[in-house]
Structure 1
Amino acid sequence: METLDALTSRKAVRKYKKEQIKDAELNTILSAGGIAPVGLGDYKSIHFTVVQNRDLLSKISSAVKAAVPGMEAPDPIYGAPTLIIISAAPNERMPTIGDFNAACILENILVAAADMGVGSVFMLSPTLAFSDESLLSELKIPAGFKPLATAAFGYADEPVSKKELKNPYETTILR
């Protein structure tokens, strides 16, 4: 698949088949995250947690519902069989660099998933549930690391259609 094809076929999937993604696909997705730009080249400040255990996924879903007032979704992780959590260690010199690193990594893994026909959705709400120390411990998030981004992965339960390549943003071009 060409890059623009992967970008235009990527969609926020909110309904997944129960089937787990293949290990080769997961490894490719993680590797795509591994080649994302990381500020200051500090790759040791980033940690990936992959959750495929159904009981733990259910626990995360319950924690999200408890942490987000007014959450109406019956399952805030949409029944996805895989979650990837990107965590970062703090950096005193550049306090927000972890957020930017996580965003770059996340975009790479979402586009890689689309390229392979794996559905995905970026979710901010799980990071709100990760203030529970016992859940962080169960997720084996390293001490001092903060979960910054979460994405769900699986095979879409509905067909994914291609989007039109366009720029919806107000743009100023200075020449």
Structure 2
Amino acid sequence: MSEVRVRIAPSPSGFLHIGTAKIALMNWLYARQTGGEFVLRLEDTDAERTDEEFVQAMCDGFKWLGIDWDEGPAFGDEPEKGAYGPYRQSERNQLHRDAGRKLLDSGHAYRCFCTKEELDEEREKARAEKRPPRYNGKCSTIPPEDAEARAEAGERNVVRFRVPEGSTVIDDA
């Protein structure tokens, strides 16, 4: 059996919430009980509301509760620790871009240029027809070179997984 790795990923846009503290404590106890690792990763993607004061307060709150972490971000006088950083989500952008590029290049993903309005319309149509909302795959047939040209021209897009029809089973143990 592989080693247990659990994490808590609070958003430092406010002070430590009791629910976050509860989940952190449960994950920390499980990691300690199993000889696993407890990881702290900051979900700091809301740049407007994220504040280092809240990072410090959360980390101090965890410490006050007796919760320490094996891997986590630098804050205050504490250095980053762990081999799988960075531990601030906002600093992982290049890792995500590299992974997206690898998926696009291998054909396991494609660029989707659908607007929020188009997706909302599809969702409402599905609700009206009493079926679960599901992306229709409209952009999956755009030739990759055309999609790249549109992306390079600045057209907003997201990267979607190319999921084959039928069951998909992933063993992540």
Q: Same fold (TM over 0.5)?
A: no
Asked which structure has the greater CA Rg, the reply is: 2
More strand by share: 1
TM-score (norm 2): 0.23
TM-score (norm 1): 0.23
